[in-house]
Structure 1
Amino acid sequence: MAKTGESSQWILGVDVGGTFTDLVAMAESGQLVTTKTPSTRDQSDGVASGIAKIAEKVGMEVSEFLSRCPLIVHGTTVATNTLLEYDGAKVGLLTTQGFRDEIEFRRAYKESVFSVRLQAPHQIVPRRYRIGIPERLSHTGEVITPLDEGAVRLAVRKLVDEGIEAIAVCFLFSFVNPQHELRVKEIIQEEAPHLFVSLSYEVLPQIREFERVSTTVVNAYTGPALQSYLNHLEARLREQNFKGELFVMQSNGGVQNVVQSGRFAAGCLLSGPAGGVTAASFIGQRAGYPNLITIDMGGTSYDVSVIEQLQPTVTTENWISRYRVALPMMDIHTIGSGGGSIAWIDSGGALQVGPKSAGSNPGPACYGRGGMEPTVTDVNVMLGYINPDNFLGGEMQLDRSLAEEAIRTHIAEPLGISTIEAALAISRIVNSNMSNAIQYVTTQRGFDPRQFALLAVGGAGALHAGKQAEDLRINTVIVPSLAPVFSALGDVAANLKVTELRTHFEEVEKVDLEKVNDDFEEMEKIAREKLGGQNVTEKFEVRKYLDLRYKGEVHEVTVPVRSRTRRITALNLEATLNDFHELHERLYAHKDPSQEVEILNLRMDLIGVREQLRFDEEAFDKEDPTNAKTGERTMYFEKDPVQAPVYNGALLNPGNLIVGPAVIEQWGTTIVVYPGHEALIDAYRNCVIEVRHSVGTVG
């Protein structure tokens, strides 16, 4: 094989999903090479396998290819899986004496307020490992009770004897004065230097005690696993001649080095899907769609997020595996509706789909790896949406008879319906679940989904997106040309990013702008230290935000500060206040400019800007797509079958128009153009589908 990248350097993006590991390599010339490989229990095995496939495609040995990679950006689910599976480190908690049960009081909050059957969450730090330390600070940071260092040493020794692997430290008002927490860290390092230490001052230095202790404990619980994995992966890459830098995708949409990522694992809990949202912003800019709803459907989950004016929405209201993680994260809502989601009948005889997934092993029944239960992928094979002979471009063969048997045995016969009716019922339920997920991040956040385009990615996203668009009266669906490996593309495209925050409680009318600007300068200094030592970029941007609320409110709204200068002026503050009133009205249908407004926190993003991806724009060809037609296939959109044309996506050119019903088969994904819809291949080889809405349809 010829060496397509013989003299090039390559940036490599790697995203590990629940079923597949996706890789995108970009050469200096702009050439992109992609592949998929099954995910493995030790994620580094799947990463190594994918790198070997990429190296083969460019005609190099693995060692030579890695020597030409100055940067690898990795999206990983290690931290996520650790928390979801409750398989984290054995954690101890040191807190102010009398406050060790804060993690259980949870502000008296219950996710399902009216459910009397909801069990308490799994304890990731049991009460016997939570120790109160004599110390106390006032709300202004003054020492009321000095730190009892002897008690700290005894507590650490006790926890070590209990086999503790990580210690979380969260003292009252440490976000104002961290001296006690920092001293405890020194003592822990003296007594047990092998322990992982998570300080609330370093993880989440802001007001609100439960949010702070929960986030700090989650960081301690997931940190050792992520740190161990990243060290293992980096060592493995170094052995294969990798000399560049390894970065990790963060939940806020930026990337950070492995050292910081290992220390602050809680910031990587949405590492995988964040890459897809980052790539969506880039595609939206190129394709001319600034407002997007992104849906990423893989083998295990369905991730939904909103991009407004090319900016992904960010939230600190995150609950993951029933624990509060109050770090700024992309607002990504996830449900268990992937290709591997299992259809089942509950005790009341009702048909359900997910959240349990067959994963990649054994996988759906049609994989032929021993899976016996029907999944969404089996349904898509049964209905003719997926060609069993052309899955992953023919790299993997599927067995339609096994899919049919699983659906018939587990669903059709128990319900007394035909296999096709059962498959259609499963499809309707999973589509309804996904439409509900879209409404959760749109209408419940003050967005009208009809004003957005739907961007469908992941291996299975384009199979179902047309139905969600019909349900919600969305006019346009976009399927990017690299949809199957979209999160890995986002890893390649993402900027470096560090988010800093600091509590600054003050009424806006009485604000000390000098103090605010000094705090922002200090936050920027800390952020630059965290990004120090990297050789990826020398170009930086600073974005500032204020957390504002009406006096007496419990929750705040994060508002960007519009400033052309390094320091915030009175005029900037006035504009930010006006933006707050408008944003508050959009979110809560209420504003009151006469009401007093309070600043709660200062936030700042330091962004290391990387070179943008280069996609060449191509001229439109003829509309007729006949040259890409490969045949026809029987498909079911209702009970009666239809014959639909099948197109090879690799042979379609910009300007080609495909009228539904039709199927476009691409490597790694299949696009279903539903009856009445029309698909156009645009200048960047994205598939842009215009959706037909029946008269009288209710969104």
Structure 2
Amino acid sequence: MTTSTSQWSLGIDVGGTFTDIVLSGRDGSLHSTKTPSTPDQSDGVLNGIAKVAGQIGATAESLLADCGIIVHGTTVATNALLEYRGAKVGLITTEGFRDELEFRRSYKESTFNPRLKAPHAICPRRLRIGVPERVTHDGTVLIPLDEDAVRRAVTFLLAEGCEAITVCFLFSFVAPDHERRVGEIIREMAPDLYVSLSCDVLPEIREYERVSTTVVNSYVGPAIQSYVSHLDDKLRGRGFTGELFIMQSNGGMLTASETGRKAVGTLLSGPAGGVTAAGWVGQLAGYRDLMVVDMGGTSYDVSVIQDLNPATTTESWLARYRIALPMLDIHTVGAGGGSIAWIDDGGALRVGPESAGSLPGPACYGRGGTRPTVTDANLVLGLLNPDFFLGGEMKLDAAAAERALTEHIAEPLGMPVLDAAQAVSEIVNSNMANASHLVTTRRGLDPRDFALVAAGGAGALHAGRQAELLGISSVIVPGAGPVFCALGDTVANLKVSGSRTYLARLADLDLGDLNRRFEEIETEARGRLAGQSVTDDFDLRRSLDLRYEGEVHEVVVPLRTRTRRITALNLEATIRSFHDLHETLFAHKDPDQPVELLTIRVDVLGLREPPRMKGMEFGDEDPASALKERRRIVYADGAHETNVYDGARLHAGHFITGPAAIESWGTTIIVCPGQEALIDAYGNCIIENGRAGAA
């Protein structure tokens, strides 16, 4: 493993409100800060670097000169797609198939709603052109590529002002020559144009998934490429001589140049850092199976990690477009601190998904918001200290929160305002618990088998109650929870995922050919990591997409071997794993049914040396020295006088019995009645739930 001689590495995560910075030293020290995000994200990044440099008595220039690696989680691609502000995209495809993008394999979010509008067209029909060419399923050329038609199509798209062109032909995942030739023609005619070939982006079967993913890559690619280049120039101008990496949706990082070519891989760049951090923190704390939740102002993200391996999926949707690349399986619901409580036409109390955002924000912010939110309810219940929000940087208006709840909830429902606040809290907790079931029980997993990792500004407020509702025994509130995604960037490994469709019955499989295909994918993946120098220690992980013959959905099954070569015994063990996984997911298995292979997958990981965290020695258990006050707080089972502790004065070994609140900058940890909390050697708060298993 290559070890950098530089003193520092930086993890940077840009969110909608704040840019989070984590500075990691070779001596195991960690420094973190937040700074407001800016319209040009690079400005907020440089502001944050200057701010964290001040914590170690340095300037931004001197810090960057001694920084070997920067890993950046960015929302540039996500924002471009969600806000439909991407590039003007043209599509060249097989003649007669230009409407695949709208047919969507008949997928419709609301099947019985005839008024549901089609998704916003990120590639309008007039910019989708079919050209004569045709390859059969076995790679035979049925119709040669008409290069004159390609040149006419490119000429038209350039005249229309297209900033990117996508090329997606039928069966190019079997025979990519036609696509590659079109790519050459485009580069001859417009050398600086952004080009996406489906055989490079997603060489897999299923036409809609392939064209959708590749078009999205073209749509967000120019923005990512421009931003990364712009940021790199600014960093170099301030003295940075190290390597810049971008966090990917698969939970790994990739070089800036490679990211620009495959920009669709950054669509979950930010949340992926949080999942990566959870695996690292869980390992330090002694937990290998984790449910990771991140509650911010607008949303609640939840995912699972089994045996320190994050769950991934190839069935993601974003802005109503299918992204079929391997991505961390993160489920998001509209349940955050800013989620608005409201009464529907039937007189039922609802919470979210609409959010008050940061402006005007919850009523208690005093920025013009008048509708009640989860934060307003938490303030009325006593969970939040109005004088210590963001460590005292912001004061909350408790009277405004109470007025909003009274006017919009309590009076219309004829209940006391405290009951209204409690109802809002329980509904949002129930919504979050339901989201947790989507990634556990609906996939054959028991939430009680996991420890809950609570991140985000509001995550620790609700984590104790979530543990009660889900029957979870342990909650981990990371010490770096408010900057958790940036922390994940500092510990992420390099990662390249590759895949190929390989349709075959396992009973007829040619192992020699299978091994050759795996080697080709691995060689290509390693090539994408060739431009970096942070590590020479690589790990290879392979898997097969398997299904029973006749099924239309696959199960991704890890392929475990002691050698690089796959043998018949390896294959038999993989088939047994498939039957067991199929039963876990679908409550059914049939060992006598023929098994079919659809896709082979490879992950190449470049392993970095993680930060050498210094564990603190345990002191006395009594936290009395950190006691700030006693406050009346309303929990699910009623009101309790509660000890409130200053998180900055707690140290390793302090033991706290619930009910209790721990106030730190950026978050408040609630320890519910019947729960106990311990500050561990790494500054994490470990909550044990005495009501585990009762859900």
Change (3 A) 1:68 1:359: farther
* 1:121 positional shift: 1.8
Change (3 A) 1:565 1:493: same
Alignment-derived partner of residue 148 in structure 1: 146
Deviations 1:176-223 (A, max 9, x none): 111111111111122233322111111100111111011111111111
* 1:639 positional shift: 9.3
Alignment-derived partner of residue 622 in structure 2: 624
Alpha-carbon distance in structure 2 between the residues aligned to 1:8 and 1:125:
45
Structure-to-structure mapping, 1:68-79, within 5 angstroms: 68-79=66-77
Alpha-carbon distance in structure 2 between the residues aligned to 1:446 and 1:637:
31
Alpha-carbon distance in structure 2 between the residues aligned to 1:540 and 1:200:
27
Alignment-derived partner of residue 310 in structure 2: 312
RMSD of aligned alpha carbons: 1.9
User: Is residue 2:451 matched to residue 1:460?
Assistant: no
Aligned match for 1:187, one of 177, 180, 185? 185
2:392 partner amino acid? G
1:162 partner amino acid? E
1:163 partner amino acid? G
Alignment-derived partner of residue 419 in structure 1: 417
Alignment-derived partner of residue 297 in structure 1: 295
Change (3 A) 1:8 1:222: closer
Alignment-derived partner of residue 355 in structure 2: 357
Is the 2:471–2:692 contact (alpha carbons within 8 Å) kept by the matching residues of 1? no
Alpha-carbon distance in structure 1 between the residues aligned to 2:410 and 2:47:
39
Residue 390 of structure 1 aligns to a residue whose secondary structure is coil
Q: Size of the alignment, in residue pairs? A: 691
Structure-to-structure mapping, 1:138-177, within 5 angstroms: 138-177=136-175
Change (3 A) 1:380 1:189: same
Change (3 A) 1:383 1:104: same
Alpha-carbon distance in structure 2 between the residues aligned to 1:627 and 1:377:
29
Aligned match for 1:271, one of 259, 265, 269? 269
User: Is residue 2:13 matched to residue 1:40?
Assistant: no
Alignment-derived partner of residue 648 in structure 1: 646
Structure-to-structure mapping, 1:9-408, within 5 angstroms: 9-408=7-406
* 1:616 positional shift: 2.8
Residue 67 of structure 2 aligns to a residue whose secondary structure is coil
Is the 2:461–2:670 contact (alpha carbons within 8 Å) kept by the matching residues of 1? yes
Residue 277 of structure 2 aligns to a residue whose secondary structure is helix
User: Is residue 2:553 matched to residue 1:555?
Assistant: yes
Alignment-derived partner of residue 673 in structure 1: 671
Alpha-carbon distance in structure 2 between the residues aligned to 1:229 and 1:618:
40
Deviates more, 1:363-372 or 1:279-288: 363-372
1:24 partner amino acid? V
Alpha-carbon distance in structure 2 between the residues aligned to 1:354 and 1:263:
37
Change (3 A) 1:355 1:235: farther
* 1:81 positional shift: 1.8
Q: Percent identity?
A: 63
Change (3 A) 1:8 1:188: closer
Deviations 1:353-386 (A, max 9, x none): 2223333344333333333433322322222212
Deviates more, 1:481-490 or 1:339-348: 339-348
Alpha-carbon distance in structure 2 between the residues aligned to 1:376 and 1:270:
25
Deviations 1:590-640 (A, max 9, x none): 111111111111100010000022223334333221111111123222596
Gaps of 5+ in 2: none
1:449 partner amino acid? P
* 1:459 positional shift: 1.1
Alignment-derived partner of residue 563 in structure 2: 565
Alpha-carbon distance in structure 2 between the residues aligned to 1:249 and 1:515:
33
* TM-score, with length taken from structure 2: 0.96
Alpha-carbon distance in structure 1 between the residues aligned to 2:624 and 2:160:
70
Change (3 A) 1:408 1:40: farther
2:339 partner amino acid? S
* 1:116 positional shift: 4.3
* 1:114 positional shift: 4.0
Alpha-carbon distance in structure 2 between the residues aligned to 1:8 and 1:383:
48
* TM-score, with length taken from structure 1: 0.95
* 1:641 positional shift: 4.2
Residue 291 of structure 2 aligns to a residue whose secondary structure is strand
Alpha-carbon distance in structure 2 between the residues aligned to 1:25 and 1:472:
35
Is the 2:26–2:611 contact (alpha carbons within 8 Å) kept by the matching residues of 1? no
Is the 1:20–1:299 contact (alpha carbons within 8 Å) kept by the matching residues of 2? no
1:285 partner amino acid? Q
Gaps of 5+ in 1: 1-6
Is the 1:80–1:270 contact (alpha carbons within 8 Å) kept by the matching residues of 2? yes
Alignment-derived partner of residue 4 in structure 1: none
Alignment-derived partner of residue 477 in structure 2: 479
Deviations 1:133-175 (A, max 9, x none): 1110011112111111111111122122222222111100101
2:537 partner amino acid? K
Alignment-derived partner of residue 437 in structure 1: 435
* 1:398 positional shift: 2.9
Is the 1:17–1:298 contact (alpha carbons within 8 Å) kept by the matching residues of 2? no
Structure-to-structure mapping, 1:573-652, within 5 angstroms: 573-637=571-635, 641-652=639-650
